Amino acid sequence: MPSKELRIGIVGYGFMGRTHTNGYKRANDFFDLEYRPVLKAACGRSEDKTKAFADQWGYESVETDWQKLIERDDIDAIDICTPNDTHHDIAIAAAKAGKMVLCEKPLARTVAEAQEMVDVINETGVKNTCWYNYRRVPAVTLAKKIIDTGKLGRIFHFRGQFLQDWTIDANLPQGGAALWRLDVAAAGSGVTGDLLAHNIDTAMWLNGAITRVTARTETFIKERTHQLTGEKQAVGIDDACIFICDFENGSLGNFESTRYARGHKALDTFEINGEHASIRWDLHDLNRFEFFDHSDESTVRGWRSIHVTDGDMPYMDKWWVPGLCIGYEHTFVHQVADFLKDLETGAVTQPDFNNALQTQKVCEAVLESGKDGQWHDTGVTL
Ligand SMILES: NC(=O)c1ccc[n+]([C@@H]2O[C@H](COP(=O)([O-])OP(=O)(O)OC[C@H]3O[C@@H](n4cnc5c(N)ncnc54)[C@H](O)[C@@H]3O)[C@@H](O)[C@H]2O)c1
């Protein structure tokens, strides 16, 4: 039985507010942990909406100002589930108040913001993590384990994609509730910070540092009405981004993301090609990865489709029986469970803020290159 409480104050009750809360509620049902999250308070600007969320999901109380939430003595950890322009101020205030900080990705809008967050985390020493949840898809975690054995041999290529199609309509407004991702002031960037950040985090986790990049970005719809002001305004985000890069290990990378790929909703993929073997994965079929091993006998050699549901595969001993799938929401349960286990052991939960800062550096180098067409060093240190 868990004997220790981790009292959560969550800011934001939208998409991520729900996924994280589901993680807090489920983790102890499936994982054997000393700590148990307690849903102390939910914070949002609208009292009615925050109260409705708190009632539905089981939070004990409500705040309408995140500063008040941070001042409370009965909160141990602040979970930031708000748009990107709020991450910096909330995280820094929370860390200065001695709270643990769990922050959604991207860590911030810019490297400057992210670096300030890391500096305060380092000064205060509070426990922290950034929710790059795709690391905790069991198939992706297993790919990491296989790559780390060296089984693939020398790595030549890494490619990643994140394709969507929800902003093709030129009449879609920008800004405000549900559409803050289109407003550069709130989001910091378009697909680069929102989608490619996931690919970059996965890529550097699996294949090491990205050292330099060159990119092409495009904004297809140049003006949109702002939802809050009703004014037509220039669109400041990148609607699409393609970049190529060098990894520190000598391999080449290419990445593509867009919200204009008609038919694609969340096609997040990666493929890694080594001297001896290759692995590829696709979020739309997240319980599987494909594996090609050149050392197989030639007559039966081919891409194997591996169903990652057996008990000796990452996280899967905690769920059902071999052959039965889990889904997207489980990645957040896993991140909560790992965070709680690391509280017990004192281990650093990855990605921590410093690691998420490295992804931010790649994003910024990509965006800079999108502007000037030049190669940019990333300055990543892993
Ligand atoms: N890890 C992932 O896969 C993933 C997926 C989606 C979003 N995200 C990230 O999570 C964050 C939130 O995205 P979302 O999709 O949940 O957005 P959302 O629009 O669904 O929810 C945002 C929430 O923040 C609240 N909010 C906005 N400003 C606030 C403020 N000043 N004070 C208090 N509450 C405020 C809104 O009312 C809303 O409840 C973003 O940083 C986003 O990039 C991560």
Question: Alpha carbon 200 to chain centroid distance?
Answer: 10
Mutate to test the pocket of ligand 1, among 57, 82, 227 (most ligand atoms within 8 A of CB): 82
Ligand 1 within 6 A of CB of 42: no
Which region holds residue 181: left if phi is over 0, alpha if psi is between -120 and 50, else beta? alpha
**Measured in angstroms, how far is the CA atom of residue 292 from the centroid of ligand 1?**
38
Task: Please give the order of strands across the beta sheet that includes 61-63.
Answer: 61-63, 35-43, 4-11, 77-80, 100-103, 128-130
pLDDT of residue 1: 78
Kindly state if the Cβ of 68 falls inside 6 Å of ligand 1. no
Q: What is the mean pLDDT of residues 119-148?
A: 98
pLDDT of residue 324: 98
Ligand 1 binding pocket includes 105 (Cβ within 6 Å): yes
Q: If you measure from the C-alpha of residue 271 to the centroid of ligand 1, how many angstroms do you get, rounded to a whole number?
A: 29
Render pLDDT for 80-100 as a digit per residue (tens, 0 to 9).
999 999 999 999 999 999 999
Top mutation candidate among 11, 15, 129 for ligand 1, by most atoms within 8 Å of CB: 15
CB 165 within 8 A of CB 278: no
Q: Could you report the per-residue pLDDT of 319-365, keeping only the tens digit for each? A: 999 999 999 999 999 999 999 999 999 999 999 999 999 999 999 99
pLDDT, mean of residues 227-245: 97
pTM above 0.75, yes or no: yes
Buried b vs exposed e over 353-380: b needs ≥16 C-beta within 10 Å? bbbbbbbbbbbbbbbebbeeeeebebeb
pLDDT at site 318 = 98
The answer, yes or no, to whether any atom of ligand 1 lies below 6 A from the CB of 258, is no
Q: Is 83 in the pocket of ligand 1 (CB under 6 A)?
A: yes
Domains, the chain: 4-133 (3.40.50.720), 136-377 (3.30.360.10)
Say how many Å lie between the CA of residue 152 and the centre of ligand 1: 38
Q: Provide the pLDDT confidence category of residue 2 given band limits of 50, 70 and 90.
A: confident
Q: What is the pLDDT of residue 152?
A: 98
- The response to whether residue 192 sits with its C-beta less than 6 Å from ligand 1 reads no
And the tokens for 156?
């030549």
Query: Does ligand 1 lie within 6 Å of residue 131's CB atom?
Result: yes
The Cα 36–Cα 5 span in angstroms is 5
Distance CA 191, CA 181 (A): 9
- Dump pLDDT digits (tens) for 95-107: 999 999 999 999 9
Q: Is 31 exposed, middle or buried (0-12, 13-18, 19+ CB in 10 A)?
A: middle
